[in-house]
A and B are shown apart, each in its own frame.
Chain A
Amino acid sequence: MNLLEVRGLEVAFENEEGDDLVVVDRVDLSLKAGKTLGLVGESGCGKSVSALSLLRLLPKPTGKILNGSILWKGNDLLTVSSDDIRSIRGNEIGMIFQEPMNALNPAHTIGRQVDEVYITHQGLDSGQARVHTLKMLEKVGIPEPGIRANEYPHQLSGGMRQRIVIAIALACEPDLIIADEPTTALDVTIQAQVLQLMSELQEQSGASLLLITHDLGVVAQTCDEVAVMYAGRIVERAPMRRLFEFPQHAYTRGLLASIPSLTGPIQTELPVIPGIVPALADLNSGCRFAPRSSYAHEQEWLDVRAPLVEVEDNHWVEDCPACRRLNSDALS
């Protein structure tokens, strides 16, 4: 059984006129225990909103989950009581946000912020909590935890702060960690440290990881499976290697081809995906990538959404015959 199984998740924001703008459109995701799932896509495609929905943390009152189910160990998180969801947030699912400064309270020492997790979620007194806190700080690689625990967030570097956020997320020993762009604000060298730390800790604890990123390099180096999101939808899902070796969707192939690398030719034109990501207000109901694809589309594909089909074991892609034809052209 999957630890997490998201089915048909549909999320909207109400605009000033009172209309619902759908930003996450019938998304399916699944994650097995101990595995890492990468959710990739460009800015605004709905990654963070999907993650917030899993924990029912959408901004109120504008953010709404219209449809779908989020099965966590078999229970639908969308129907459990608010007490239950709070306890799951604290004890079973940990969250790491993109900007560590927003996740930390600038007025409290970092020691106190980690203590709080042990006090509220495990019922320890402050003395016991501090013992655990110091161990946890050491685990996430904070030098001299005894001294650092008494410092405030602004006294730490970005990399150190992100380690504190990770410590807080891990303190409750979660079964799942949702990390929303945990390293995007960091230097590559510090990113490598943080990614290595996360994978070590994940190995020790057996937790699953939902890793949101727009960096396909990070995906290739850390994930077991990948879901590619475009304009509110998952257009392709696959075991990580297969996504890189055998990408199916025109968008996935376009993205993979357009990244400059350390080994490819230099000072030559990169393949590009023409056009821009469509604005929320002008989304068509059919394939949302079609307006940017080089293929001459029949109206049908712009109007009708193709379901995902399994093209090989555990590899799903929007079932558009046109896209497949493009594929076979490219392969022949």
Chain B
Amino acid sequence: MDKLLKISQLKVHFPVKGGIWMRPVATCKAVDGVSLEISKGETLGLVGESGCGKSTLARTVVGLNEPTTGEILLDGQKLGDYSGNFGKGNRKRVQMVFQDPAESLNSRHTVGQILEEPLVVHKKGDQGERASRVKELLNLVGLPLGSVTRYPFEFSGGQRQRIGIARALALNPEVLVLDEPVSALDLSIRSQVINLLLKLKNRLGLTCLFISHDLSVVRHLSDRIAVMYLGKVVEIASAEELINNPLHAYTRSLIGAIPQANPNVHGKFSVLSGEVPSPINPPPGCPFGYRVGSRFYTESIGQSLDLKEFSPGHFVQDCPCCVI
């Protein structure tokens, strides 16, 4: 299959400011050497705990953050030079859906204006064509056509997320980056939006990077899943393989910690101890082995911890303390 989106050796580091002069005193390595490839029409799920760098990665892919090093290629072309006019032509080919639909929509604009805006910015069609595109978008996400003249606050959370999705689709992007798109939604609404995403993916042949901290949701929507820990990908495999045959100790803990809505199934692994180390001052060796106090931790110091193909398509960090 063609690799549509290629992220290679991406690092996104933020300066941490401190002292009375607010000078950079340290570096937060939010994304620290991530390489991922997504084929055309494929959905790659990305999971990991809070602060592991998921949103930073997503924002960098759509051009909201600048890579420190590394590059992002769409169809083999660089996604822009980040010098103000972020890859004008390419930018519209990658769009993003945010977690909180209430915050990401301009509350003073009508739904019609919100959906038309990207078309105006990119000079797509005349007024009539834009109006019919807006109707098409509303249809696509299952909102009544009358929504055009209404404001975001008049809609429920699930409906607002549909507006956010419709806006992201306005320019016919090839890649959709979804950052926790269903996390803020009510229980009975979440499954409606999950179904909508499945339908859109199949109907439009979208390529997606789907981020969530909920592995059950990710599993449901993704072809492959990547697990991220402290700025690095530790394991990546097809959705079923990752859940049924997790190799990295972190992936196993993550799966084991999910409370399942079935009283006969209990977490398969013991409760994980410790907390995620800081990306500002990471330990010298494997950060997960360090967290859980693995007795093989010292062996990981100085190792590159690169991903290794364990079985076809199943990559895991080559770590002496987490993959035994």
Nearest-Cβ distance from residue A212 to partner chain B, whole angstroms: 14
Give Cα distance in the complex from A215 to B187, angstroms. Answer: 8
Residue B273 lies at the interface, judged by CB distance under 8 Å to chain A = yes
Question: Which of A221, A254, A260, A268 has the most CB atoms of chain B within a 10 A radius of its CB?
Answer: A260
* Interface 1/0 per residue, B257-281 and A, CB below 8 Å: 1111111011100011101000000
Residues of A within 8 A of B50 (CB): 158, 187
CB atoms of A256 and B271 under 8 A apart: no
Given contacts A254-B188, A271-B191, A276-B158, contact A192 B259 (CB under 8 A): yes
Residue A81 lies at the interface, judged by CB distance under 8 Å to chain B = no
CB atoms of A262 and B263 under 8 A apart: no
Residue B195 lies at the interface, judged by CB distance under 8 Å to chain A = yes
CB atoms of B261 and A276 under 8 A apart: no
B267 to A, closest residue via Cβ: A192
CB atoms of B261 and A266 under 8 A apart: no
- From B7-15, B55-63, B143-151, B213-221, the one touching the partner chain is B213-221
Give Cα distance in the complex from A144 to B256, angstroms. Answer: 27
A274 to B, closest residue via Cβ: B192
* Interface 1/0 per residue, A276-293 and B, CB below 8 Å: 110000000000000000
CB atoms of B271 and A259 under 8 A apart: no
Given contacts A157-B275, A276-B156, contact A189 B253 (CB under 8 A): yes
Count contacts on B: residues with CB < 8 A to the other chain: 46
Residue A191 lies at the interface, judged by CB distance under 8 Å to chain B = yes
Nearest-Cβ distance from residue A151 to partner chain B, whole angstroms: 15
Which residues, 189 to 204 on B, are CB-close (under 8 Å) to A?
A: 189-192, 194-195, 198-199
Residue A258 lies at the interface, judged by CB distance under 8 Å to chain B = yes
Residue B110 lies at the interface, judged by CB distance under 8 Å to chain A = no
Given contacts A192-B267, A192-B271, A266-B219, contact A258 B257 (CB under 8 A): no
CB atoms of A218 and B259 under 8 A apart: yes
Give Cα distance in the complex from A222 to B257, angstroms. Answer: 13
Given contacts A157-B275, A187-B213, A270-B220, contact A261 B260 (CB under 8 A): yes
CB atoms of A260 and B257 under 8 A apart: no
Give Cα distance in the complex from A273 to B187, angstroms. Answer: 10
Residues of B within 8 A of A268 (CB): 198
Nearest-Cβ distance from residue B192 to partner chain A, whole angstroms: 5
Residue B305 lies at the interface, judged by CB distance under 8 Å to chain A = no
CB atoms of B220 and A266 under 8 A apart: yes
Give Cα distance in the complex from A55 to B65, angstroms. Answer: 47
Partner pick for A262 among B198, B219, B271, B273, CB 8 A cutoff: B219
Nearest-Cβ distance from residue A258 to partner chain B, whole angstroms: 4
Residue A196 lies at the interface, judged by CB distance under 8 Å to chain B = yes
CB atoms of A217 and B261 under 8 A apart: yes
Residue B254 lies at the interface, judged by CB distance under 8 Å to chain A = yes
Residue B186 lies at the interface, judged by CB distance under 8 Å to chain A = yes
Which residues, 212 to 239 on A, are CB-close (under 8 Å) to B?
A: 214-222
Residue A42 lies at the interface, judged by CB distance under 8 Å to chain B = yes
Residue A152 lies at the interface, judged by CB distance under 8 Å to chain B = no
CB atoms of A193 and B255 under 8 A apart: no
Give Cα distance in the complex from A190 to B188, angstroms. Answer: 25
Residue B159 lies at the interface, judged by CB distance under 8 Å to chain A = yes
Residues of A within 8 A of B240 (CB): 266
Give Cα distance in the complex from A164 to B216, angstroms. Answer: 30
Given contacts A192-B271, A266-B240, A277-B186, contact A259 B259 (CB under 8 A): no
Residues of A within 8 A of B220 (CB): 260, 264, 266-267, 270
Residue B94 lies at the interface, judged by CB distance under 8 Å to chain A = no
Partner pick for B262 among A187, A196, A261, CB 8 A cutoff: A261
Give Cα distance in the complex from A220 to B256, angstroms. Answer: 15
Question: Which of B186, B187, B255, B258 has the most CB atoms of chain A within a 10 A radius of its CB?
Answer: B187
Partner pick for B263 among A192, A244, A261, CB 8 A cutoff: A244
- The 7 A-B residue pairs with the shortest CB-CB distance, nearest first, are A217-B259, A258-B191, A260-B220, A192-B257, A216-B261, A270-B191, A221-B259
Identify 6 new A-B residue pairs, CB closer than 8 A, beyond the known A217-B258, A262-B258, A269-B195.
A43-B157, A221-B263, A244-B262, A255-B187, A258-B191, A272-B192
Task: List residues of chain B with CB under 8 Å of any chain A CB.
Answer: 49-50, 156-159, 186-192, 194-195, 198-199, 213, 215-217, 219-221, 223, 239-240, 243, 253-263, 265-267, 271-273, 275
